[in-house]
Structure 1
Amino acid sequence: MSTMLALLIFIVSYVLIMTEKWNRALVALAGGVLLLITNVYQWEEAFGFIDWQTIALLFSMMVLVSITKKTGVFTFVAIRLAQLVKGRPVPLLLVTATFTAVGSAFLDNVTTVLLFVPVLLSLIDRLKLPAFPYLLMTIFCSNIGGTATLIGDPPNIMIGQAVEHFSFVSFLYHLGPIVALIFLAVVSIVVALFRKKMTYNKELAEELMRMDAFEHLKVSKLLIQSLTVLALTIIGFMMHPFVHMDITTIAVSGALLLLFLTDKELDVEHVFQEVEWVTLFFFMGLFMLVGGLETVGVIDEMARGMVWISGGDMPITSMVMLWSSGILSGIVDNIPFVAAMIPVVQELQGYGMMNVDPVWWSLALGACLGGNGTLVGASANVVVAGLAASYNQPISFVRFSMYGIPILILSLAMSSVYIFFRYLIPFL
């Protein structure tokens, strides 16, 4: 009975999260509470299922970016980059791709698009350029760039917390090469598709060149403090294997240090108000939902099923994981999918598959790149669509999918070749 209840609550919650008729954090938490009401598990177990390290890491990065944003440095950089290419449409599209990908890798993709898209929409409106190619490029590159690092995309954060020997450098080393290749391929395709539809207006470009980007930059002690602590935190992520300190501790330390340094200039309560609490509570509810499946043994049965399908064969398991996570993450948000699959991969080790690192990398690539399939495939997509609608530049679900699905298939095909030659040949 408890198995059916846990499954029913999980499926209904999942469907409601997909439809977005209610706030997804509210739905996830309601599902977790229903599991408590129906005695699938107790409060002590529920809190045990929540990955508090992931929550603390996300919270810390939100605090760091929230304070840094007040200096105007992100707006300043965006305007200067547009001026660097003299407002020319195609170079601006390339700048958009690069800025979004790099920012998504080192800040996280949701934060990057929240900071960059309003500035981008303002710039392209000033230059009278079509918004869709730039928004499309932003979404694609936010998910591609976020795939490269441990903190770039929520699925990677969750995987990094689940596997002790994965570090910030591990993600760059293992996923960086294929991410760079996919980035180049996708950018080339988008530029080829839209370059003839973007007209250069010399007069408007000259107006952009006359803008003073420094008007948006608040040169102060806060700027130096914010950039210094943010840089030290990112360096700490990279040095994590050598300093023997987990990335969550590094992120929390960075956030606390910046809060102490800016305590007299900024109201801590105001900084906390700007934290994306809805996202954090969504994660908590999600962990509780997946914990219900783990309690009743569904996760264990999923692992058995995967071993049965693949016959315990590592190449088949990796490819099944890559394509299933890619396709399903294109249909639904990749966060709940990864939350459900992490314990499945962990269970595989109990069935004789001792080195499951190729499966982990397949899951990371599939889930993060799968977000490009549809407009609801990743949190960054939903954020960009919402911002675009608020600027009267709505993105059609069908129109986006016409570009997103081919890009997804290309990305998964390239990832398959990479995974096979880099990891799976020894298993043949």
Structure 2
Amino acid sequence: MDTTLLIFALVYLALALGHLPGFRVDRTGAVVAGALAMIAMGRIGDQAAWAAIDYRTIGLLFGLMVVSGAFVVSGFYAWVAARIASMPVSPPVLLAILVVTGGVLSALLTNDVVVVAMTPLLVAITLSRGLNPTPFLLGFCFACNTGSAATLIGSPQNMVAASALHLDFTGYLKVALVPALVSLPIVWAIVAYLYRHRWTWAGQGPASAGPEPSPMPLDVVETVKAALVTLAVMLAFVLTDWPHDMVALGAAAVMLVNRTVASKDVLKAVDGNLLLLLMGLFVVNAAFAATGLPQKAITGLSGMGIDLTQAPVLYGVVSVLSNIVGNNPAVMLLAPFVAQAPDAQALGAAFALGTGFSSNLIVFGSLAGIIVVEQAAARGVTITTGEFCRAGVPVALACLAMGLVWILLIS
């Protein structure tokens, strides 16, 4: 048991810090090493390790990443970014358009792929117009995080929670769509207010910092194909009881078989590190659960009045935990202990809204935040931790308060 606890603690320490202290090992490397150590040291059998991996969630996520990647290859994201950012509208209106676009796209497609594809162009185009990129990047990032909570397929943690709680697409939509939509005007209002006198560029370098990326031309045929496949996936989720992972994998197969687009180009959009991290966490958490300590801890918390099967309580706990170890690890750690609870829909909303809304609190609260800050820095635009939190903290707190009201109403 001591070895299991040590491995588990080191893995989650790496998740919290972003690396394993003293080693050049990032989050994914630490999780994979931890899973292998659990198996090698006999803390979990090889068959039990394979059984612990939820292949349905992994398959669903992989399939949707491929579909989203098809939009990248077709030039759709770049086309959207260029069209929106070049509109002859005032900065507050431009921000509103970006917030809505980020929220909607992240709800329908993998939010991290959307952020990766659009951020460089948003930086370059706002700079070329003499605008301060920071409010637009932050608004877009915040909207992607909160908007992704709207649907079961908006983010990996939503998929993990829905799988654990056996939620279908429409059932999830009923409890998550409304607060996710309400979060978008909250994001816009706070960011627009904070930057009301700072719309123009007065940053650390000239407005032409870095070469402007050349957006790939829009391939209309491939974009329409990807859109039709996405629509078919949504209809299958809503109208049939077909397994979600099989639907997503079937859609991925359709997108990969192409006479004009190389499959390797589409697969570049698949976040292999994230898939490995999730698979490793399934194994590490299963080995830890076998010790019986998590069950004892949950029982002890219940005795103290902290009942995770109560949606408001779970909402608060996952909101805090996700900013310590990350969204996906937080959901994966807690989901097994509420899987059999009666109010599955409210608990699903607690997971999705708690992780999605709290993600904007700090830079490292979400992968989207890290992507925006790093890609902006590469283009000569520095978004400090203080700058991010100055907008992110009020956005997160306002959205979390609204989400709590919603959780109390549906519980």
Instruction: Establish whether TM, by shorter chain, passes 0.5.
Output: yes
Distance 1:334 1:311 in 2: 21
> Contact 2:60/2:249 (CA < 8 Å) preserved in 1?
yes
Equivalent residue for 1:298?
293
Q: Which residue of 1 aligns with 2:16?
A: 18
Cα separation, 2, equivalents of 1:406 and 1:268: 42
Cα displacement (A) at 1:356: 4.5
Residue 87 of structure 1 deviates from its aligned partner by 4.7
The separation in 2 between residues aligned to 1:374 and 1:41, in whole angstroms, is 35
Give the percent of matched residue pairs that are identical in Structure 1 and Structure 2: 26
Q: SS where residue 121 of structure 2 aligns?
A: helix
Structure 1 pair 298–383 and aligned structure 2 pair: CA distance change class (3 A): farther
Number of paired residues? Answer: 395
Cα distance in structure 2, aligned partners of 1:274 and 1:292: 31
| Cα separation, partners in 2 of 1:214 and 1:116, compared to 1, 3 Å | closer
Determine if contact 2:78/2:118 at 8 Å carries over to the other structure.
Answer: yes
Looking at structure 2, the residues matched to 373 and 97 of structure 1 have their Cα atoms a distance apart, in angstroms, of 17
Does the 8 A contact of 2:105 with 2:114 survive in 1? yes
Q: Tell me, in whole angstroms, the C-alpha distance in 1 between the residues paired with 2:390 and 2:190.
A: 13
Structure 2 partner of 1:224: 224
Aligned to 1:34, the other structure's residue is in SS state: helix
Deviation at 1:8, TM superposition (A): 1.9
Residue number among 112, 120, 123 corresponding to 2:122 in the alignment: 120
Shift of 1:344: 1.6
- Between stretches 113-122 and 97-106, larger displacement belongs to 113-122
Contact 2:314 2:351 in 1 (8 A): yes
Match of 2:244 in 1: 247
Q: Aligned residue for 1:175?
A: 176
Equivalent in the alignment of 1:267: 262
Query: 2:208 corresponds to which residue?
Result: none
Asked if 1:69 corresponds to 2:72, the answer is: yes
Asked whether 1:27 is paired with 2:35, we answer no
Structure 2 Cα separation of the partners of residues 393 and 313 of structure 1: 42
Give 1:265 shift: 2.0
Secondary structure at 2:275's aligned position in 1? helix
Counterpart mapping for 1:339-354 below 5 A: 339-346=332-339, 349=340, 354=342
Write the distance in 2 (CA, Å) between the matches of 1:257 and 1:7: 44
Deviations 1:253-297 (A, max 9, x none): 11112223x1x2233344334422111111111111111211111
Q: CA deviation at 1:305?
A: 2.7
What is the Cα deviation at residue 126 of structure 1? 0.9
Deviation for aligned residue 1:78: 2.2
2:383 matched to 1:395? yes
> Could you tell me whether the CA contact under 8 Å between 2:78 and 2:216 is conserved in 1?
no
Give the aligned CA root-mean-square deviation in angstroms: 2.3
SS at match of 1:60: helix
Shift of 1:122: 1.6
**Displacement of 1:313 after TM fit?**
9.4
Q: Which among 403, 413, 416 is matched to residue 404 of structure 2?
A: 416
Unpaired segments ≥5 residues, structure 1: 201-212, 424-428
Structure 2 CA distance for aligned equivalents of residues 308 and 188 of structure 1:
41
Equivalent residues in 2 for 1:101-120 (5 A)? 101-120=103-122
1:321 maps to amino acid: L
Task: Find the counterpart in structure 2 of residue 330 from structure 1.
Answer: 323
- The code of the aligned residue for 2:262 comes to D
Task: State the AA in 1 paired with 2:177.
Answer: G
CA 331–408 in structure 1, closer or farther in 2 if over 3 Å, else same:
farther
d(CA) in 1 for partners of 2:152 and 2:348? 12
Report the TM-score, using the length of structure 1 for normalisation: 0.86
Provide the secondary structure at the position in 2 that maps to 1:265.
coil
SS at structure 1 position matched to 2:197: helix
How far does residue 361 in structure 1 lie from its aligned partner after superposition? 2.2
Deviation per CA, 1:33-84: give whole Å up to 9, x if none. 111122111111111111111111121122122223222122222222234x
**Between 121-130 and 390-399, the greater mean CA deviation after superposition:** 390-399
Structure 2: segments with no counterpart, 5+ residues: 20-24, 202-213
| Equivalent pair of 2:148/2:154 in contact (CA under 8 Å) | yes
CA distance in 2, matches of 1:417, 1:216: 45
Call closer, same or farther: CA 1:68–1:325 in 2, change over 3 Å. same
Contact between 1:293 and 1:299, CA under 8 Å: does it hold in 2?
yes
Deviation of 1:215 after TM superposition, in Å, equals 7.7
| Distance apart, 1:199 and its partner CA | 3.8
2:313 equivalent in structure 1: 320
The equivalent of 2:156 in structure 1 is 154
Which letter does structure 2 place at the counterpart of 1:91?
V
In structure 2, what is the equivalent of residue 98 of structure 1? 100
| Cα distance change, pair 66–77 in 1 and its aligned pair in 2 (3 A) | same
Closer/same/farther in 2, CA of residues 274 and 156 from structure 1, 3 Å limit: closer
Q: What is the match of residue 47 of structure 2?
A: 44
Q: Is the 8 A contact 2:147 2:183 kept in 1?
A: no
Confirm or deny: 8 A CA contact 1:330 1:372 kept in the other structure.
no
Do residues 132 (structure 1) and 137 (structure 2) align? no
- Distance change (3 Å), C-alpha of 1:118 and 1:307: same
Report the Cα offset of residue 312 of structure 1: 5.8
Inter-partner Cα distance in structure 2 for 1:313 and 1:386: 35
Give the Å deviation of 1:342: 0.6
Q: Which of the two has greater helix per residue?
A: 1
- Relative to structure 1, the CA distance from residue 215 to residue 295 in structure 2 (aligned partners, 3 Å threshold; closer, same or farther) is closer
Aligned counterparts of 2:273 and 2:219: Cα–Cα separation in 1: 29
Give distance in 2, aligned partners of 1:312 and 1:62. Answer: 35
Name the amino acid aligned to 1:401.
C
Shift of the 50–26 alpha-carbon distance from structure 1 to 2, 3 Å rule, reads same
**2:211 match:** none
In the superposition, relative to structure 1, how do residues 320 and 79 fare at CA in structure 2: closer, same or farther (>3 Å)? same
CA deviation after TM superposition for structure 1 residue 309, in Å = 2.7
Check whether the contact 1:332–1:376 (CA below 8 A) recurs between aligned residues: no
Q: What amino acid does structure 1 have at the position aligned with 2:120?
A: P
